[in-house]
Amino acid sequence: MGNTFEFTLLIAAGSFLAGLLGSLTGLGGGVVIVPLLTLAFGVDIRYAIGASLVSVIATSSGAAAAYLKEGFSNIRVGMFLEVATTIGALSGAFLTTRIPTAAIAIIFGVVLLYSAWMSAKPEAEVPLEEKPDRLASFLKMDGSYPTPDGVRAYHVRGVPAGFGLMYVAGLLSGLLGIGSGAIKVLAMDRAMRIPFKVSATTSNFMIGVTAAASAGIYLHRGYLDPGLAMPVMLGVLLGALVGARILPTAKVRTLRLVFGVAIAAVAIEMIFKGIRGHL
């Protein structure tokens, strides 16, 4: 009984840190949760993914409401892109029982390395005189967000490229249980030229729907363990709420560097374990 209680507390503490990082970077915590459960606690990767998806839904619910109130999230962008991510999520969840766990771990590691590399690159500058995207203007996606110097307006660009990347994000979410926030943030930040804080907060708004689509399939296949999912969900939710309070005053460059270094280290470990067949 004592060991079970200690195990639960450790998982909840680790989940809190995952939720905090997930909320600040738009990742949803799953990027840290799955490696934490599999590498540190020896949990089967499919059960880890199931618990992660539940935590992703909790993170989205917890942080999204706070970000909406503060005026960061772009709802029109989120709802439009959610169509692609939901279709992708169902595809990924369908594939999960048809791919060996070692292969899933290696794919996970490669995705994390790519995300870390993209995160470390300097933020692309958007020329102020650049014309708005026709499709974005038609769908009324342009918006504004609060900054220390007042409200700043921005244009949305590259809508077709962003939509395509969102399908890939959803596919990875269903397959890996990561909420695919890494790909979503990068798609909005790089392809669609949306400011990083808006990308991160809109990603938090979206990931709950994406994860819910995948979680139903994991539940049906018996990969959702309530005893594991509950402390993960509570820890991540609390971390997400704390992160939502910190984000408005956080430095974007610092967030990117913390994100990049943390997940690069995890990625190498996941790939190594997958190649050795220890997962």
In angstroms, the Cα distances linking 207 to 23, 113, 201, 211, 261 are: 11, 20, 10, 6, 23
Q: Flag whether pLDDT at 94 surpasses 80.
A: yes
The CA distance from 252 to 91, in Å, is 33
Look up the domain containing 84 and give its range.
Answer: 2-276
Report pLDDT for 33: 84
Which of 163, 162, 177, 166 lies closest to 213, judged by CA? Answer: 177
Q: Average of pLDDT values for 255-271?
A: 77
Long-range pairs for 33-40 at CB < 8 Å and ≥24 separation? Answer: 33/177, 33/232, 33/236, 34/108, 34/176, 34/177, 34/178, 35/108, 35/266, 35/269, 35/270, 36/11, 37/11, 37/228, 37/232, 38/105, 38/270, 38/273, 38/279, 39/266, 39/269, 39/270, 39/273, 40/14
The whole-model pTM stands at: 0.71
Percentage of residues in the chain having pLDDT higher than 90: 8
pLDDT (tens digit, 9 = 90+) per residue, 193-238? 888 888 878 887 787 777 787 788 888 888 889 889 999 989 988 8
Top-confidence residue, 178 or 13:
13
pLDDT band at 123 (very low <50, low <70, confident <90, very high): low
Domain count within the chain: 1
Least reliable range by pLDDT among 7-21, 74-88, 121-135: 121-135
pLDDT band at 118 (very low <50, low <70, confident <90, very high): low
Report pLDDT for 228: 92
Q: Average of pLDDT values for 76-82?
A: 89
Least reliable range by pLDDT among 87-91, 114-118, 154-158, 203-207: 114-118
Token readout for 175 is 């397959």
Report pLDDT for 27: 61
Token readout for 36 is 């934490």
